[in-house]
Amino acid sequence: MLCSPRVKFNCLAVLLLAIFAAANLAQTASSDLAIAFRYDKNHVISHVAYMEDPVKISNPKPSKEPVTRDSNCGYQLPLTVERLRTFKPLDGKVPAIGQKFIVFLGGNATITATVEGYIEDWHGDPRVGISMIALVESRDQSRFEKTESGYFLISSQGKPALPASISDPFAGVEIKTRSVLNRFGTLGDLIERTAQAGRDIRLYRMSQGTLRPTSVADGCSD
């Protein structure tokens, strides 16, 4: 960009704004903020991807039932790293074993958890959900156990970008129940809504003075 002496200040301002906008866009695009659930006394579970399972499952043997309700939509089956490698990626990204994540417990409280394994969420067809199981670090065990809610947020970033608001996916649908599952300060509130067709657990945040839905969600349809 070439600037003459007369317009040097304005030109510099435009350049700085462009750099800021690009940085902000990159931060938003790379955000991996998601919903996590308490799996047991020292693990969390979070959906990370959809993949195609090449093996037809006829007699599923579910793993143990997670502590928190609604943390899955189908049968949760044990999934080894070796078998995961045979799956065809469809949507999302599966983190590597050993990758660390920040778990947001509510308010401003956070802990650290490390990916330890995977679960296959089977619904009866080749398209399956993939969830990661992450182990809470020993120094954070006490705080995790004392946290009343079993609904959290999780991200590889300590300060994830604030998710943008979206149009209400339940617009025009009769809502049966609505409940606040957890609150996360500036990140927003985790709210569950149920309707005839299923349920929707979603992060809502304030935008222009109104609590609006975001794309950070986990839900099941009938």
pLDDT tens track for 164-194: 899 998 888 899 999 999 999 999 999 999 9
Residue 9: per-residue pLDDT: 39
Residue reference for tokens 């304030």: 206
Residue reference for tokens 């399956």: 128
Residue 222: per-residue pLDDT: 55
Q: Where are the domains of the chain?
A: 34-155, 175-221
pTM of the model: 0.82
pLDDT tens track for 36-76: 999 999 999 999 999 999 988 877 777 777 778 777 778 88
Instruction: Give 153's contacts (C-beta < 8 A, 6+ positions apart).
Output: 33, 34, 35, 36, 103, 104, 184, 187, 190, 203, 216
Residue 21 has pLDDT above 50, yes or no: no
Residue 123: per-residue pLDDT: 84
Integer Cα distance of 222 and 201 in angstroms: 15
Residue 69: per-residue pLDDT: 73
Fill in the amino acid letter for 138: S
Integer Cα distance of 135 and 117 in angstroms: 9
Residue 23: per-residue pLDDT: 40
Residue by residue, DSSP assigns the chain as: ----GGGHHHHHHHHHHHHHHHHHHHHHHH---EEEEEEETTEEEEEEEEEE-SSPPSS----PPPSSTTS-SSEEEEE-HHHHTTSEEEEE-PPPTT-EEEEEEETTEEEEEEEEEEEEEE-SSSEEEEEEEEEEPGGGHHHHHH---SEEEEESSSSPPPPPB---TTTTSPEEEEEEEEE-GGG-EEEEEEETTEEEEEEEEEETTEEEEEEEEEEEE-
